[in-house]
Amino acid sequence: MEFFSPGHLIVIAIVALVLFFGWKQLPDMARSLGRSMRIFRTEIKGMSEDDKKRAEHAERTAEQPKAIEAPRVVEPEGGLAHTVAETAPRPRPRPTPQGSQG
């Protein structure tokens, strides 16, 4: 009879786990391992769904020609044409400290 058959190895592993970790910690460890596996499977499923969405989006955008939008021209009342970037409000200058006016 062979001592290291798969059944004997399983029994030895269970006894070693009980002796090493204790009887009360094993259910908690199994529960946390189950939760971790469930979270892992959910994340893998989510990644595959993201890949499908990305592929569908790539197919849709590949079919549509990309239009290059020219800058819009705004015609003020004075008759001079300016682009939108030129008529956009400019940022204010930073205030100086009170003591360094000069």
Say how far residue 91 (Cα) sits from the centre of its chain.
34
Domain ranges of the chain: 1-63
Mean pLDDT of 20-43: 89
The rounded mean pLDDT for the chain is 77
Q: What digits encode the pLDDT tens for the residues 39-68? A: 999 999 999 898 888 888 888 877 666 666
pTM of the model: 0.40
Give burial (CB, 10 Å; 0-12/13-18/19+) of 26: middle
